[in-house]
Structure formats: structure tokens, C-alpha cells
Amino acid sequence: MPFRFRDRPVQSVASLLRHLQGDERRLSADSKAAGKVVWYRGLRSRAHELVPTFHVQRRDVSDEIHMMNLFKQNAHEFLEGQIPSSEWEWMFLMRHHGLPSRLLDWSENPLVGLYFATEPDRQIRNEDGALWCLLPAQLNRWSLAWPDDTFALPMFTEREAEYSLGENETLRIYLPRGVRQARSSAEARPPAAAISIRTSKRIQAQLGVFTIHHADRKPLEDSGDQSHIWRFIIPAAQKAAIQTELRRIGITRLTLFPELDSVAEEAGAALGGT
């Protein structure tokens, strides 16, 4: 596929950093590489597409609204006064607790993406992984008619007090009510990239950023002319060794998911637990 750069294998943390250094030089020489900020997403299988669970399950926006209403109906008792103040905040809270979402997680840290590409999975054995790299501002040229001369990215917020509210308002069409108004596939928008307030320790630890799909189920990597994206391939035979290297430099389940479940998992693994 005609991604910005060709697929290259990653044999170690050091080899990834060398590749990224070379990519940075090439991006710096391209005045059209909007923003030059790069995001990363790791997938355990190179065969997996960049499609959110909501669209993988082929759900409709009416399902999304129904789920949101049911979640809101029963969530208040457990929120201890921290009630979401906007539709975006409800969407992120639902996603955090496991409901299907049109959001895809990315990270500003390539080693976080590498961790997820090499993380063990009993159902995905002997498959090469993939580390996807994204130019978010370049993607937004296609989805939001983003100007060429800005490095800024919109934010998932509806709060009047947030600065750059005009830019943030460009995302309103991606809220459930905006998706519902897309009466045909011709009105569906490409995925867009945006930042969010990091309201959880998990998002902060992972330096989380996000893309969001509209009504179109097309994979993100097929949007536009594909100049916004490329990937590295992680050979299955190297995954365990790369995980060991990541542990040595402090990229572990506990550092990326700073919660008691991770503490228990790491304690069990230290004694040979599962």
C-alpha cells in the first residue's frame, strides 16, 4: 500500500529508535508534512486494521445513543459527584469502562506503542505485530479541512472556558448527533485526530491521544492519499526479546496501567503466576 514510508522490520528498541531518527529527518525536509507531530499505535497482529470496536461490531449510531442513555441512567450512583459535564466526557467514560467506541487510542510515545505491539496474547501466537505511525494534522487536512500552516490540534471538549473553542467546534460533527445526521455514506466524514483532557492516570501514563471515526467504517489507513500514515512490522520471533528490553527501561504493564490490577498481575508474574 502507498503509505508515506515503506514497511520496515523492528528487531529491537534500538532499531526502532534508529528508524524513527531517519523518519524525523525526512519529515523535516518535507514542508507539507503538517505539524510533524507523530502519534503511535501498536497492534499485536499486522493483519488488524485501524478500525474502532464500534465499527468492527458493525453497530449503528442509534445503538451508540441507546448505550449512552442506559449508561447515564445507572452510572450516577457510582460517580461520587464527578458527573461528566459534556457528551464527550460521557463518551470517554463509557469507553474507559469497556463499552464499544468510535475512538482509537494512540500515544505520543513510540515505546508505548511498541509495548502494545509486542504484548503477549494467548489468542495471537506466531503473528507479526505492527507499530503504526500517524501525522495527526495531516489526517485532519482530509477530515476537517485543516489549514496547512498550523501545528495545533482540536480538543474533545464542549466547555465554553476552553481556549481555541472555534477549532474544537470542528469536532462536533463526530458527536453521536452529528453522525446520526449523516443520512448517506456520501455524508460520512473521514477519521479525525484530537487531544483530550487526561482525566485518568491511565491516559496520562500512556500519553494518550485519540482519533475518532464518523459513520464510515473504512480503516483509518485508507483515508485520503495515505500520506498521513506508515508502519513498522514487529516480527513474531522478536516480540519476547523486545518486551524484555522494554521492562529494562521501565515500560511495563504497571507503568502504563497504574492501578491495583496491574500491581497484582506483576506480583503474580514475579512468582511464575499467570
Is the torsion defined by CA of 172, 175, 181, 182 positive or negative?
A: positive
In percent, the amount of the chain with pLDDT more than 70 equals 92
Average pLDDT over residues 198-222: 92
Q: What is the pLDDT of residues 131-164, one digit of tens each?
A: 999 999 999 988 888 887 777 889 998 765 555 6
Better-predicted residue by pLDDT, 122 or 211: 211
For the ranges 3-12, 105-114, 144-153, 225-234, which has the lowest average pLDDT? 144-153
What pLDDT shows up at residue 151? 73
Average pLDDT over residues 190-209: 92
What pLDDT shows up at residue 163? 54
Side-chain half-sphere exposure of 120, counting CA atoms within 13 A: 9
Helix extents (H) in 47-198 = 53-56, 61-75, 87-96, 110-118, 136-143, 165-168, 176-180
In percent, the amount of the chain with pLDDT more than 90 equals 51
The distance of Cα 96 from the centroid of its chain, to the nearest Å, equals 13
What pLDDT shows up at residue 1? 54
Residues contacting 135, CB < 8 A, separation 6+ = 4, 27, 33, 34, 35, 36, 37, 38, 227, 228, 229
Q: What is the pLDDT of residues 54-65, one digit of tens each?
A: 999 988 887 888
Element spanning 225, H or E? none
Q: What is the DSSP string of 22-76?
A: HHHHHHHT-TTSSS---EEEEES-TT--S--HHHHTT--HHHHHHHHHHHHHHHG
What does DSSP say about strands 129-134 and 208-212: parallel, antiparallel, or unpaired? unpaired
DSSP helix/strand/coil, 195: strand
What pLDDT shows up at residue 35? 60
Average pLDDT over residues 232-252: 96
The answer to whether residue 217 scores a pLDDT higher than 60 is yes
Better-predicted residue by pLDDT, 193 or 28: 193
DSSP helix/strand/coil, 194: strand
What pLDDT shows up at residue 49? 95
Q: Is the CB of residue 38 less than 8 Å from the CB of residue 105?
A: no
Q: Mean of the per-residue pLDDT values for the chain?
A: 88
What pLDDT shows up at residue 184? 58
Using CA atoms, how far apart are residues 265 and 268, in angstroms rounded to an integer?
Answer: 5
Of 161, 154, 198, 206, the C-alpha closest to 175 is: 154
What pLDDT shows up at residue 164? 60
Q: Is the CB of residue 159 less than 8 Å from the CB of residue 85?
A: yes
CA distance readout (Å), 73 to 66, 67, 176: 11, 10, 17
The answer to whether residue 273 scores a pLDDT higher than 60 is no
CA distance readout (Å), 31 to 8, 35, 115, 143: 24, 9, 31, 20
The answer to whether residue 44 scores a pLDDT higher than 70 is yes
What pLDDT shows up at residue 242? 97
Q: Is the CB of residue 36 less than 8 Å from the CB of residue 153?
A: no
Q: Is the CB of residue 118 less than 8 Å from the CB of residue 54?
A: no
For the ranges 83-87, 115-119, 211-215, which has the lowest average pLDDT? 83-87
